[in-house]
Amino acid sequence: MMTEPLADDFGREETGALSDDFGREVTGVRISLTDRCNFDCIYCHNEGLGDTRGPMEPEDDEMTADEVVRFLEVVEEYGVRKAKFTGGEPMLRGDLEEIVRRTPDSMETSLTTNGTFLPGRAEALREAGLERVNVSQDALDPEAFAEITKSGAYDRVLEGVDAALDAGLDPVKLNMVVFEHTAGYVEDMVYHVAENEGLQLQLIEYMPELTGRPEWSIDIQRVHDWLADIADRIEHREMHDRKRYFVNGGMIEIVDPVENEEFCANCGRVRVTHEGYLKGCLNRNDDLRPMGEMSREEIREAYEETVANRVPYYGEYLKKNGSGEYEINERYIEAPKSTTSD
């Protein structure tokens, strides 16, 4: 089947974006607003920061709204045109609407959430300037959902998806982690998004790097092959070189970062932890860089250094040895380039 390149969806027009030594421009930031969560998904990587379990109350170490906005204003100077808010559960932040409202207008603003707090807040988020939302929904089955998320909030999540659609936060991407516990629900989800306007599906390959349990992984190539057979059309997204399959009018995107050098070679995002550390790669915790007291000058310095030190995880930070297995490139063991935290 013909695969068509997609129009640039990653804002690589003349933005003045910084590039790393591997020619990867950074045009997006992904900000964790908290590492607290009301779910306890069995697979959760928490954006590479460890366990989400713990108290639900706001914590002192979280960046304030002012700090988040200052950071966004600074990286806007560097051509960043996409801001993604995530967590933990970002909707546990009562000031999310304020943060979204104060996000620079030049940025496409989106949110990844478990959906439970969207009823009652989706409208206000839309009014504040949020453009779209990704909602995690791993199955169309309340029992499987409860087993995976350790929560009984299935109906509430469905209400959240409806609230987002009603508020015009579309397309709503349903995020489904594909692993042993969900593989049997992929087909249902594919037809679910085909039948429901405004929905898209994002099938995320289970990443065992930070969570352990490699035995839960399934071969994502099988899902690609099945979709390629039934798809009317296939596109490539510039971000991460992700594939998008169109089935009966529904769009299904596969996020397959595990041992995927092409994915890392097309990675143009810097992450920020809820505590205000810059992070060049989801899978690493040895490249965290504090932004000090978050003065504009400190943010600029830390951001420039972070971009300059980014390396593709698969293919450079990890390299294949003689037996074809990935191991840490000696360069990054001998000369760590950053302050290490946790």
Ligand X SMILES: Nc1nc2c(ncn2[C@@H]2O[C@H](COP(=O)(O)OP(=O)(O)OP(=O)(O)O)[C@@H](O)[C@H]2O)c(=O)[nH]1
Q: Which residues are annotated as a binding site for S-adenosyl-L-methionine?
A: 43, 88, 136
112: contact with ligand SAM by CB under 6 A: yes
Name the token pair of 182. Answer: 């969900």
Shortest distance, CB of residue 238 to ligand SF4, whole angstroms? 13
The binding site comprises: 30, 37, 41, 43-44, 84, 88, 112, 136, 173, 264, 267, 269-271, 281
Shortest distance, CB of residue 249 to ligand SF4, whole angstroms? 28
Catalogue the E-assigned strands of the chain.
Answer: 3-5, 28-32, 82-86, 108-113, 132-136, 172-178, 199-205, 233-236, 243-247, 250-255, 269-272, 277-279, 289-290, 318-320, 326-328
Residues 99-138, interacting with ligand X (CB under 6 A) = 110, 112, 134
Shortest distance, CB of residue 313 to ligand SF4, whole angstroms? 4
> Is residue 277 exposed (0-12), middle (13-18) or buried (19+ Cβ within 10 Å)?
buried
Looking at the Cβ atoms of 227 and 282, the one nearer to ligand SF4 is 282
113: contact with ligand SAM by CB under 6 A: yes
Number of CB atoms found within 10 A of residue 281's CB: 20
Looking at the Cβ atoms of 92 and 307, the one nearer to ligand SAM is 92
Q: Which region among 83-91, 228-236, 271-279, 328-336 touches ligand SAM (by CB under 6 A)? A: 83-91
- Please give the Cα distance from 258 to 268 (Å, whole number): 17
Name the token pair of 250. Answer: 């529904």
For tokens 């995927």, the residue is 260
Q: What is the dihedral of CA 184, 241, 88, 338, to 10 degrees?
A: 140
257: contact with ligand X by CB under 6 A: yes
Q: Which region among 58-66, 108-116, 266-274, 289-297 touches ligand SAM (by CB under 6 A)? A: 108-116
The binding site for GTP comprises: 30, 84, 112, 173, 269-271
Backbone angles phi, psi at 84, to 5 degrees: -115, 125
Binding pattern for the stretch 57-86 against ligand X, x by CB under 6 A and - elsewhere = ---------------------------x-x
87: contact with ligand SF4 by CB under 6 A: yes
Instruction: Give the distance between the most distant pair of CA atoms in the chain.
Output: 55
144 Cβ contact partners less than 8 Å away, ≥ 6 residues apart: 138, 181, 182, 185
154: contact with ligand SF4 by CB under 6 A: no
User: Residue 47's closest CA among 4, 10, 86?
Assistant: 86
52: contact with ligand SF4 by CB under 6 A: yes
Name the token pair of 34. Answer: 């908290």
Contact residue for ligand SF4 among 281, 291, 294, 318 (CB under 6 A):
281
- First and final C-alpha spacing in the chain: 46
Looking at the Cβ atoms of 86 and 273, the one nearer to ligand X is 86
The footprint of ligand SAM (CB under 6 A) covers 37, 43-47, 86-87, 89, 112-114, 136, 175, 177, 204, 206-207, 211
